[in-house]
A and B are shown apart, each in its own frame.
Chain A
Amino acid sequence: MTDAVAPRHAATPAAVATGPAVRMTGIVKRFGAVVANADAALTVTPGEIHAVVGENGAGKSTLLRVLSGMYAPDGGTVEVFGRDVTGWSTAQAIAAGVGMVHQHFMLVPTLTVAENVVLGVEPTTGLRFDRGEAERALAALARESGLACEPQRLVRDLSVGEAQRVEILKALYRGARLLILDEPTAVLSPPEVDELWRVLRRLRDGGTTVVLVTHKLDELMDVTDHITVMRAGRTVGQLVTRRTTPAAIATAMVGRAVALDASGMPVGVAADGASPATAHASPAFATPGTDAPTPAYSATPRLLVEGLVVAGARRARACDGVAFAVQPGEIVGIAGVEGNGQTELVEAIAGLRAPVAGRIVVDGTDVTRFGVGQRLRHGITHIPEDRHARGLVLDYSVAENLILGRQRHYARSGRIDRRRVRRFAEERIAAFDIRPADPDLPARALSGGNQQKIVVAREMPADFRVLLASQPTRGVDVGAIEFIHDQLRAARRAGKAILLVSAELNEILALSDRILVMYGGRIVHECARAGASEESLGPWMTGAAA
């Protein structure tokens, strides 16, 4: 053992059983004029799994960042393990046993797992970095905590789930007794999510306290002990998980009743037209009365994909001979663990990636050789999976983002007609309830859910034919999910063809008429919605049934 680092796992529960692990009261945090936390509070019992839930922009992440020392609060007090630590630094937090796992991992891809875990607290022999010691220490920690890992693998070769495990190990290696996870499941596949819960339960049983942020209400019920609900920067309540229901949580989050189906997905007006709870949502394509979605099978499908082979960043045949059709008024859902060729498939149809082989036909026109702009004009629209990189120009205003890709329609002999842009923006902001309702605000200033509404509002004009919806509700709060789902259902009623790709099996099951499962770049299973369930699709998604 060297003196450079003392990897310890989980202090004994007795040592921390004297009071709450965390007591935050009256937390205020402002960013300029924006109040992220108005009067937030959080009390966490030692050795429990505690969830913080709320809509996008409710101030959950801010609260946890105050706890982890990333932000100093403008008001209120933070106590950790009985000590007043208000305004401490991340270094002090880590030294006191508080570790944070961020939504976007902070790992060096070109270093090994062991090197990443010990980064900053490397064991040394003299001046030399002792890699062997680092790997031994990590292996011991992995055994102790039950988090399997291969110390010598490069982080860039890991799956998202494995990388997350490295982040958790990194926190534990620094002696974390309180683990903070910011939306840990947002990037994971269903089996990886189950694995994460197993790991967190095991850590809890070993005495570690876990605080996490999540959007997925059904998960909360299985794994947490207490739930703190936030709304508009305030803590509106703390619930005991055993004595509550997803519907009650959703109501507390949104401040009004939200209809949920059995899996925790909101039920929209289309499926449940009588629900008064969803009266605020007014789909752009409202065609009242046509409730039951029956895709009209015509001779020519709206979207036809044949023998599509697409090269990916890592695999030459990331998408390996995919064929399917989408009829007018049909939502086809593509289920599958992320990284099985869905991204490449969607990008090829959108024109962002040239296919190696195969054909893409929209309403009888072969668009395989069309550029992105040409496809757009032919009625193919795309809600990209990464709204921050592809969906929005964050420094452009809401109005400028709403015309992105349609700028030609708003230009007369090369000059942009700013009055028309503004009128259009005001109309869309009202129709999609984008908040704050200010067309001049930069997109960066909006919450994730409202940013996604900008993308959806733009990609669902009246005249499109095919919509490629990739993770349309990722990182979006319940209210916005409900709204976006309503939009998709309304577009289906209007005879559009929709290809839905989602890592959320619940979302696929809630919206699709037909479900395709992708695994290893191929479609390994196809079924109608009626015959599908999480249990029946799961084996196909993991390749077990192939």
Chain B
Amino acid sequence: MSPRTRRAIEEGLLPTLAALLVALVAGDLLILSYGQAPGAVWRLMLDGTWGNAYGIGQVLYKATTLAFTGLAVAVGLRAGLFNIGAESQLAAGGFAAALMGLALPPALGPWVAVPLCLAAAAVGGGMVGLVPGLLRARFGAHEVIATIMLNFVVLAFLNWCMASGGLSVPETLHTRAIPHASVPRLASFLEAFHGSAANLVLLVAIATAVATGWFLFRTRQGYELRAVGLQPEAAENAGIRVPRTWLIAMVASGAIAGLGGTNFVLGYKQYFEDGFTGGAGFLGIAVALVGRNHPLGVVLAALFFATLSQGGLAIHALVPKQMVEVLEGVVILAVAMSVPAVRALLRARPRAAAPAAAPVAAEG
């Protein structure tokens, strides 16, 4: 491994590890403040998540949605766009998938219906991403404002669709079920996962992560997109159409977030329910941040946040589950601080190491 590769890996990994350490200490203090033993609480948390098949299944289920929204935010950031709208793109994707499922005749069967529903989810999310993309590319309207505002518009619209009757099952805020477009759960292959919501949309998430990495780092479009994100003036000078790239990035970002909606709609409940997103779109921002906008990092960060979230339920007997939300906040803050701090430390290190290394070199 060349020193530069090692440096890159260290710069990618160490800030996150440092942040986790900080969060661990903060968690210890919180647990102590509740009069509990940290060791016992952490063990309970691990037992409730990675300790049994059901826990693992729940973590995988939550991580699937977070991987989609994290990838969505990461693609935007790589193009220099801060997509705060993953929440509504996720919801719109789920809604579009449910509508497609309702429109398809049950006789079609899952091999046809599921791909169509996945496509509908991507289109639904992509359309919500298209709006701020267009506003940015055409009028220069800032995407942060546009996506935040669009969250309200889209979520309120979906709420109205469900609350006004027509689409929803009476007395509920969800649609009729679409069993013919259901994605099998892991439990149908492995009995141990029984009861957990983990399903094969997981594979779609992994495929999306691989495809995103390939797109960003191997294709011409990805090369152009990253150039636009790093230095739009230089990209423009190189003949790259910057507004068009922004548009592509926002649509791709929305589509990826939209795909995440299928995890709930096709994989878990087989219907769309108002409010199913539960903040997973917003948490996607943290996932992208902790994952350093790299698909592999995003997947790992999604697993981490899913573990915290599921672990919060497990430790509820000893400490309030809100403690976990505090920890999420601590991790995000610590990552934001440790990225520049760790980099500075790494850059300074050869200076400190040089005198120690000199005698060794002299002997050899």
Contacts and interface: CB of A to CB of B under 8 A. Distances in A.
Contact of B221 (A74, A377, A414): A414
Given A389-B231, A393-B231, A408-B220, A352 B236 contact: yes
Interface stretch (A25-33, A79-87, A519-527): A25-33
B6 interface: no
A4 to B, nearest CB: 34
Interface in B174-190: none
B347 A32 contact: yes
Interface stretch (B146-154, B222-230, B284-292): B222-230
B220 A372 contact: no
Interface stretch (A38-46, A59-67, A329-337, A399-407): A399-407
A376 B239 contact: yes
Contacts of A411: 219-220
Contacts of B239: 351, 371-377, 405
A440 interface: yes
Contacts of A30: 350-351
Given A32-B348, A390-B234, A393-B227, A371 B241 contact: yes
Contacts of A389: 231, 233-234
Chain B: interface secondary structure?
Answer: helix
A400 B223 contact: yes
Nearest to A29: B351
A412 to B, nearest CB: 9
Nearest to B238: A405
A331 to B, nearest CB: 22
Interface in A74-98: 74
A475 B110 CA distance: 65
Pick the most buried of A32, A374, A393, A418: most chain B CB atoms within 10 A of its CB.
A393
A376 B230 CA distance: 21
Given A32-B350, A416-B218, A407 B223 contact: yes
Given A32-B348, A396-B227, A414-B221, A373 B241 contact: yes
A394 interface: yes
Given A396-B227, A416-B218, A384 B237 contact: yes
Interface string A6-31: 00000000000000000000000011
A414 B219 contact: yes
Contact of B236 (A372, A392, A396, A440): A372
B232 to A, nearest CB: 9
Contacts of B220: 407-408, 410-411, 414-416
A474 interface: no
Contacts of B350: 30, 32-33
B240 interface: yes
Given A416-B223, A440-B4, A391 B347 contact: no
Given A30-B351, A373-B239, A392 B234 contact: yes
Count class of interface residues, chain A: 35 or more
B11 to A, nearest CB: 12
Interface in B336-364: 347-348, 350-351
A372 B223 contact: no
Interface string A196-231: 000000000000000000000000000000000000
A382 interface: yes
Contact of B219 (A351, A352, A372, A416): A416
A350 B348 contact: no
Contacts of A377: 239
Nearest to B217: A416
A9 B223 CA distance: 54
Nearest to A33: B350
Interface in A406-432: 407-408, 410-411, 414-416, 418
Interface in B192-229: 218-221, 223-224, 226-227
Contacts of A130: none
A395 interface: yes
Contacts of A31: 347
B236 to A, nearest CB: 6
Given A411-B219, A411-B220, A415-B219, A373 B230 contact: no
Nearest to B351: A30
A382 B233 CA distance: 13
Contacts of A373: 239-241
Contacts of B4: 440
B2 to A, nearest CB: 9
Interface in B288-335: none
Given A74-B351, A393-B231, A382 B237 contact: yes
Interface in A347-406: 350-352, 371-377, 382, 384, 389-396, 400, 404-405
B217 to A, nearest CB: 9
B235 interface: yes
Contact of B230 (A352, A395, A418): A395
A118 to B, nearest CB: 32
Contacts of A391: 234, 237
A376 B4 CA distance: 34
Contacts of B230: 393-396
Interface string B235-273: 111111100000000000000000000000000000000
B219 A394 contact: no
A389 B223 CA distance: 18
Contacts of A408: 220
B237 A352 contact: yes
Nearest to A442: B4
Contacts of A392: 231, 234
A384 B235 CA distance: 12
Nearest to B224: A407
B44 to A, nearest CB: 44
Nearest to A405: B238
A404 B238 CA distance: 6
Contacts of B237: 350, 352, 372, 382, 384, 390-391, 405
A393 B219 CA distance: 17
Contacts of A400: 223
B350 to A, nearest CB: 5
Pick the most buried of B220, B234, B235: most chain A CB atoms within 10 A of its CB.
B234
A373 B235 CA distance: 10
A415 B347 CA distance: 34
A411 B222 CA distance: 11
The 8 closest A-B pairs by CB, nearest first: A373-B239, A405-B238, A411-B220, A372-B239, A390-B237, A32-B347, A404-B238, A376-B239
Interface of B: 4, 218-221, 223-224, 226-227, 230-231, 233-241, 347-348, 350-351
Given A371-B241, A372-B236, 10 more contacts: A31-B347, A371-B239, A372-B239, A377-B239, A384-B237, A392-B231, A393-B230, A395-B230, A396-B227, A404-B235
23 contacts: A30-B350, A32-B350, A32-B351, A352-B236, A352-B237, A372-B236, A374-B239, A375-B239, A389-B233, A390-B234, A393-B235, A394-B230, A395-B230, A400-B223, A404-B234, A404-B238, A411-B219, A411-B220, A415-B218, A415-B219, A416-B220, A416-B223, A418-B218
